[in-house]
Structure 1
Amino acid sequence: MELSLVPQGADNILVEVDGAGTYYEWTPAKSPLLKAANLGAGKLVLHPRGFALPHYSNCPKIGYVIQGTCTVGMIQPNSPHEQVLIIRKGDAIPVPLGAISWWFNGGDTPVTVIFLGNTTLSYDPGHIEYFILSGPISLLAGFSSEFITKTYNITEDEAQKLTKSQTAPLIVKLDDQIAMPHQANIEKKGGLLYASLVDCKDISAENLPLLEEVGLSARLVRLEPVSLLRPSYSTDGSYRIFYAVSGSGKIQIVGLNGGLVLDGKVEEGELFAVPSFFAVSLIAGGEGIELFSINTSSRPNFGDLGGKLSPWKAMSSSVVQASLDVDLEFVNFFKSKLSIGRK
């Protein structure tokens, strides 16, 4: 494994509009495993009255709210209905492939949403790509007036107004006189992702069927100071990508032939990816750590190398003795240690 696995912060600003918001992204140049694993990551920051224009993507993804409260509109392809959701800090929302969405900060404080997704269908793997419905780099702006007038049954002047009025590329700050939707019209069943300290909370196709369509699953992990996230690996060959929401920690990833491919530290705002079948473990720093991750399977399976579900616990004592080349007394001692702690 020659690719760098070192945790990285977002290294590119795709769009920045003063007073409205910013969209940051991680690029394969700094995080090469993203391209190899067909994963992508972006971060949307919206200031009060900031509005991310309607768009769709060729990347199914999950958004996780790091701070603030955000109004989200979602329209499934060819649906006559707009679904409106109010999401808050700690909420996770799947965004299916091709679904049209818009994002609005109707509050008084900034909103930050991290997006992690599958870029298999991207033209540039490792990037989450967007197709915007309005503005200077939109689909509307691309078609000629002849096509626009015939599509919407309007005049040439009306076509100019339709396609040229919006000058913001992706994010705009709205005037107070525009009354944006402020109430949800659907329930976010299964969409809440939260956890208490030293706990894991998962969303997968088992408890949120929409993820079957998205092809992803997500997990939130919160660890107390110096607590351990035990070594584990994906048993189904899927990749994992982690984002440090808060805090910091020491991380190790072990791969082929026992190679320690990463021995480093992850800080708040950084992201790292774990190759399929590689084992990862983390020790929280002095302030603890909160991690949000996605898996490239909607029904993931993980193998735990420690604790009550460790394979060492299940093995016959004689097999453990032969495998480790130790005496039976040490085997019994070792197995007793595996019974300590949560599953």
Structure 2
Amino acid sequence: MASNNRPSFLLLTIFLISLLVLNAEAQQQTETRLRDARQCRLERLSASRPSRRIESEGGVTELWNENEDQFQCAGVAITRNIIQPSCLSLPNFAPSPRLVYIQQGRGVLGFSAPGCPETYQSSGQYRGSKGGQQQAGESDRDQHQKIHRLRQGDIVALPAGVSHWCYNDGNEELIALSVTDFNSESNQLAPTLKSFYLAGGQARGSQSQQQQQQQQHEQERDDYAVNIIREFDSKIMAEAFDVSEDVMRKMQRADDRGFIVRVEQGSMRMIKPDEEEEYEEKSRRGRGNGLEEAFCNMRMNTQLDNRREADIYSRQAGRLNSVNMHKLPILQYLDMSAEKGNLYPNAILAPHWSMNAHKVVYVTRGEGQVQVVGHNGRALFNERVKEGDLFVVPQFYVATKKAGDNGFEWVEFQTSASPMKSPLVGSRSALRGMPLDVLTNSYRISNKEAQDIKYNREQQHILFPPSGRSSS
């Protein structure tokens, strides 16, 4: 009996050992991927501008060079979309979460999250058909998921894998700056920018001979622009959608309009969140799946530039507005946050370091002097930056900002849902919390000088007005 069971026991042992080996290899590959993505081999930082420009029928997509050392260190990619009035940014999704800042304009944003109900019902639209004719008993209405109003100064959370679109219904360009976090646990692909478009784009192989000879990043642009639906077998897709193959071929045809397309006048009649149109809450059938409560009803955006909601305010120096997971709970799923800074002329943001996040800083107005110092005591960044400049401040690197004569404003994206910063000077700062004897011996200064270091800014926290002292 025992001898008959021995082969089975040996096979089970071999299987378990193989399983353990495969699991260890997978774990090692994951750790290697995360370690490589987070390595920071920085010799210097620099203000950066977009390196690529992709023109579409209804706007422009600008991309920063994601291979820059500072972006590799932070594990992020930066894009900026400029959407013309009455134009639509086509539906797409990404494998990594994104935070978007609305720098200018207004519009509407829609999500199609799996498991979420279609709670908006717009009247006066064609809802459905079979064979080209509306079925009896069907109401002339379209049901869709909630749509969100976007305004200048909003910060928007785009979860990984959730398809979304944006329509500019205003009278000026809608400018949206996006930061994608590759190091998120949601992303198990290579740390590079990917967007999966469900429509539009540029078909592979449609470039001219001259375009085919351009640099590698141009080839990557063409891959980035492909409508994923067009590569599937048309017969299978037609059957999956239960439509004619002719309809499917229209969905799959080459489209040179790009990522942002013009919309015919009057053809975007869906319900909008700030209109007094009739809408109904669709009755929920069966039991909830838990996703609705945890995700579907969460706010996707909030105003980042509201003066009345500043977290830190100084009448002489400026203000800081922060949006973290406590203000916008969906950010806990993205593990990202944002902050808007406004310094009055010649005011200073105290030297400080981020304890748990990299920061991507984008200058929105004015100009100022920025310094960043690394662990080796070297200044990696010491430049005067202006509107449109973008740079990275890695985790634990110490940074400070001083506004110019016309003030200085910026928005920064942080790779933590609940970021923490440690100021070097001011109330509740690192040096303020140390005994005077530690300061006198550390810097070889007098007791009076140590007291000045500790207490001269004791009534101020991180935002400092000009002191009026000379540099001598």
For this structure pair, what is the TM-score category when the shorter chain's length is used for normalisation?
over 0.9
C-alpha contact (below 8 Å) 1:77/1:98 kept by paired residues: no
Specify which of 293, 306, 315 is matched with residue 434 of structure 2. 315
Q: Secondary structure at the match of 1:257?
A: coil
Pairing partner for 1:11 from 51, 57, 62:
51
Q: For residues 231 and 158 of structure 1, what CA distance do their matches in structure 2 show?
A: 60
- Partners of 1:189 and 1:45 in 2: CA distance: 20
Task: Name the aligned partner's letter for residue 176 of structure 2.
Answer: V
Structure with higher strand content: 1
CA contact under 8 A between 1:71 and 1:182: conserved in structure 2? no
* Aligned equivalent of 2:391, options 263, 268, 272: 272
Question: Structure 1 101/292 Cα, relative in aligned 2: closer, same or farther at 3 Å?
Answer: same
Change (3 A) 1:252 1:195: farther
Is contact 1:10-1:270 (8 Å) kept? no
Q: 2:66 aligns with which of 23, 28, 31?
A: 28
The structure carrying a bigger helix percent of its residues is: 2
1:101 aligned to 2:164? yes
Q: How far is the alpha carbon of 1:70 from its aligned partner?
A: 1.4
Which residue of structure 2 aligns with residue 114 of structure 1?
Answer: 177
Matched, 1:192 2:281: no
Residues 1:188 and 1:79: Cα distance change in structure 2 (over 3 Å): closer
What is the Cα deviation at residue 327 of structure 1?
1.3
**Distance in 2 of aligned mates of 1:332 and 1:123:** 53
C-alpha distance after superposition, 1:285-325 (max 9, x if no partner):
22212111111111111111121122111111111212121
Matched, 1:65 2:128: no
Equivalences for residues 190-339 of structure 1 within 5 A:
191-196=302-307, 198-236=318-356, 238-339=357-458
Gap change, CA 1:28 and 1:187, over 3 Å in 2: closer
| More divergent stretch after superposition (251-260 vs 185-194) | 185-194
Q: Distance in 1 between matches of 2:408 and 2:246?
A: 56
Please state if 1:132 is matched with 2:252.
Answer: no
CA separation in 2, counterparts of 1:275 and 1:220?
A: 18
For residues 306 and 327 of structure 1, the distance between their equivalents in structure 2, rounded to whole angstroms, comes to 18
For the 8 Å contact 1:250–1:284, the answer to whether it is kept is yes
Supply the distance in 2 between the matched residues of 1:122 and 1:281 (Cα, whole angstroms): 35
Task: Tell me the distance in 2 between the aligned counterparts of 1:123 and 1:307.
Answer: 43
Match of 1:179 in 2: 268
> Secondary structure of the residue that 1:73 maps to in structure 2?
strand
What is the Cα-based RMSD across aligned positions, in Å? Answer: 2.1
Counterpart of 2:146 (choices 64, 76, 83) is: 83
Q: State the match for 2:222 in structure 1.
A: none
Report whether the alignment pairs 1:55 with 2:92. Answer: yes
Q: What is the rounded CA distance, in whole Å, between the counterparts of 1:190 and 1:167 in structure 2?
A: 31
Q: Where does structure 1 lack aligned partners over 5 or more consecutive residues?
A: none
Distance 1:181 1:283, change over 3 A: farther
Structure 1 residues 123 and 188, CA gap change in structure 2 (3 angstroms): closer
Gaps of at least 5 residues in structure 2 are: 1-40, 119-144, 204-225, 275-296, 308-316, 463-472
Q: C-alpha distance in 1, partners of 2:65/2:269?
A: 33
Deviates more, 1:129-138 or 1:83-92: 129-138
Alignment deviations for residues 53-79 of structure 1 (CA, whole Å, 9 cap, x no partner): 011111201111111111111121343
On the 8 A contact 1:25/1:41 being kept in 2, the answer is: yes
How much has 1:269 moved relative to structure 2?
Answer: 0.8
Determine if contact 1:252/1:264 at 8 Å carries over to the other structure: yes
Count of aligned pairs:
338
Cα distance in structure 1, aligned partners of 2:454 and 2:396: 24
Amino acid across the alignment from 1:61: R
Name the CA distance, whole Å, in 2 between partners of 1:217 and 1:180.
33
Whose radius of gyration is greater, 1 or 2? 2
- State the TM-score, normalizing by the size of structure 2: 0.68
Cα 1:202–1:171 shift into 2, 3 Å = same
CA–CA distance in 1 between the matches of 2:251 and 2:117? 21
Give % identity.
22
